[in-house]
């Protein structure tokens, strides 16, 4: 009986070899060797999931098949060294590889499109071998690998990308990436990670932690928030950025000394600058007019210059170790003139400057001190002519 089944299976496989099938249906196939993968080699499209069994060892070649309409999954195959594929160009589901302790080769000669990449715990993987480059992916999550770069991930657009805890990652350059529609996040990768997105124009949320350089010369719009935390760069510039939809934050970057946002006119959330010990002047925002949330600056800065600022809809918290009292004169005047709508706290010569996290979610004029005049029409920019008291403030505020 078992023998008969074996014959039938062999015949079925043999007939597959004879005729190329357009499509084969799953719902799934579990493979533990390249031989097992032969069962779908003659399917142009496999409608189902491909599961590489945790007992697989050595190399698995998934050859022949061009499209997998489903997931490709391999979990905890600790004896697996390589996964390769010559013709697979699309995975419509999730390409999930987790806990592959010794897998050092990932070679997909034709792969260009994946819905989701989820690679976690691939401590032997140092590089990708994707001859065509993955140009389309909605989500990319790469964590705990030994990758040195992301060459092979050649996306033009992505919804979400989260790259974390890859200690050897030092170089990321996604040249074709133009658009990030939900979020991009880098954290706890190589200490010397340099990130370059030369053509990124439009991004939703951007978060960069523990990076040493970020270059986004074309960035013109950030729909969500943009935050930099515990980074080691000295300067950051966003020459083409005009607006953020959410908060802009620079926190805990000890070498940061110069910011440059020559085109930025509006911050759609809070504006947080804190614990950047080398930042001696808060400047580089010549056109910034509006902060929709709160302004929160804490540090050792000795001057603040925002010559166009005329509307802070939240409150402001400014605390610095500097003894330059002019800074607080300017903030207090801006509050009196109605530029700052919420509560204004300003302290110079403060040994331990503190931020006001509750304020970064925005303030209202109802919580203002009695000196607020609620004259939200006050303009500090040259575009609208000023008179009287407002003009005086404009002349001295944030020089």
Ligand X SMILES: *[C@@H]1O[C@H](CO)[C@@H](O)[C@H](O)[C@H]1NC(C)=O
Nearer to ligand X, 67 or 355 (CB): 355
Q: Candidates 25-33, 131-139, 303-311, 313-321: pick the segment binding ligand X (CB under 6 A).
A: 303-311
Pick from 217, 216, 221, 270: nearest CA to 243: 221
Site for ligand X in 211-250 (CB under 6 A): 217-218, 223-224, 229-230, 235, 237, 240, 245
Burial call 370-389: b when 16+ CB within 10 Å, e when fewer: eebeeeeebbbbeeeebeee
Q: Which range touches ligand X (CB under 6 A), out of 37-45, 83-91, 126-134, 200-208?
A: 200-208
| Among 182, 232, 265, 290, contact with ligand X (rule: CB under 6 A) | 182
- Using CB under 6 A as the binding rule, whether residue 75 contacts ligand X is answered as yes
Quick check: 398 and 316 in contact, CB under 8 A?
A: no
In the numeric block, which tokens belong to residue 22? 């357009």
Q: How far is the CB of 118 from ligand X (least distance, A)?
A: 12
For residue 47, the SS3 value is strand
Here's the x/- map for ligand X, 349-388, by CB under 6 A: it reads as ------x---------------------------------
Beta carbon nearer to ligand X, 142 or 330 = 330
How near is the Cβ of 87 to ligand X at its closest, in Å? Answer: 27
Shortest CB 17 distance to ligand X, Å: 33
Tell me if 82 sits within 8 A of 59, measured CB to CB. Answer: yes
How far is Cα 380 from Cα 372, in angstroms, rounded to an integer?
A: 16
What whole-number distance in Å separates Cα of residue 210 and Cα of residue 205? 17
What does 302-353 look like in DSSP terms, one character per residue?
SEE--TT--EE-S-EEEEES---THHHHHHHHHHHTTSB-S-EEEESS-SS-
Q: Binding to ligand X by residue 287, rule CB under 6 A?
A: no
Distance CA 16, CA 42 (A): 6
User: For the chain, how many residues are written?
Assistant: 399
- Is 118 a residue that touches ligand X (CB under 6 A)? no
Q: What are phi and psi of 101, to 5 degrees?
A: -60, -40
- For residue 256, state whether it binds ligand X (rule: CB under 6 A): no
Write down the least CB distance from residue 187 to ligand X, Å.
6
395 counts as binding ligand X under rule CB under 6 A = no
Least separation, in Å, of the C-beta of 151 and ligand X?
22
Binding flag, residue 116, ligand X (CB under 6 A): no
In the list 171, 202, 243, 255, the residue contacting ligand X (rule: CB under 6 A) is 202
**63-71, 111-119, 179-187, 369-377 -> range binding ligand X (CB under 6 A):** 179-187
Helix and strand tally (H, E) in the chain? 4, 32
* Number of other residues whose CB lies within 10 A of the CB of residue 150: 22
User: From the CB of 210, what's the least distance to ligand X, in Å?
Assistant: 4
Sites of contact with ligand X (CB under 6 A) = 75-76, 99, 178-179, 181-183, 188, 201-202, 204-205, 209-210, 217-218, 223-224, 229-230, 235, 237, 240, 245, 251-252, 258, 260, 274-275, 302-305, 324, 326-327, 330, 355, 399
């Amino acid at each position: 009986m078992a023998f008969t089944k074996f014959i039938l299976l062999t015949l079925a496989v043999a007939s597959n070899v004879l005729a190329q099938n357009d499509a084969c249906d799953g719902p799934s196939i579990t493979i533990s060797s390249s031989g097992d993968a032969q069962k779908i080699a003659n399917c142009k499209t496999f409608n189902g999931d491909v599961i590489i069994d945790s007992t697989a060892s050595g190399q698995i070649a998934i050859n022949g098949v061009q499209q997998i309409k489903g997931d490709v999954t391999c979990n905890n195959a600790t004896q697996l060294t390589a996964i390769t594929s010559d013709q697979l160009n699309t995975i419509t589901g999730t390409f999930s590889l987790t806990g592959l302790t010794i897998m050092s080769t990932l070679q997909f000669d034709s792969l260009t499109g994946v819905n989701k990449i989820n690679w976690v715990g691939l401590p032997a993987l140092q590089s990708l071998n994707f001859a065509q480059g993955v140009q389309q992916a909605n989500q990319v999550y790469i964590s705990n690998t030994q990758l040195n770069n992301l060459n092979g991930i050649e996306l033009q657009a992505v919804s979400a990308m989260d790259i974390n805890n890859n200690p050897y990652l030092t170089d990321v350059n996604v040249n074709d990436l133009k658009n990030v529609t939900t979020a991009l996040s880098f954290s706890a990768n190589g200490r010397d990670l340099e990130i370059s997105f030369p053509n990124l124009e439009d991004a939703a949320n951007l978060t960069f932690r523990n990076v040493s350089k970020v270059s986004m010369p074309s960035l013109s719009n950030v729909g969500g928030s943009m935050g930099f935390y515990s980074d080691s760069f000295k300067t950051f510039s966003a020459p083409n950025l005009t607006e953020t939809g959410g908060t802009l934050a620079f926190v805990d970057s000890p070498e940061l000394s110069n910011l440059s946002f020559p085109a930025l006119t509006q911050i759609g959330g809070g504006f947080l600058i804190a614990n950047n010990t080398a930042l001696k002047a808060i400047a580089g925002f010549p056109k910034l007019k509006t902060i929709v949330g709160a302004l929160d600056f804490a540090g050792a800065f000795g001057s603040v210059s925002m010559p166009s600022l005329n509307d802070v809809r939240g409150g402001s918290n400014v605390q610095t170790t500097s003894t330059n009292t002019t800074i607080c004169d300017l903030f207090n005047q801006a509050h009196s003139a109605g530029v700052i709508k919420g509560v204004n706290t300003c302290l110079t010569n403060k040994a331990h400057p503190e931020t006001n996290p509750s304020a970064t979610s925005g303030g209202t004029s109802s919580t203002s001190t009695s000196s607020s005049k609620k004259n939200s029409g006050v303009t500090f920019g040259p575009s609208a002519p000023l008179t009287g008291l407002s003009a005086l403030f404009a002349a001295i505020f944030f020089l």
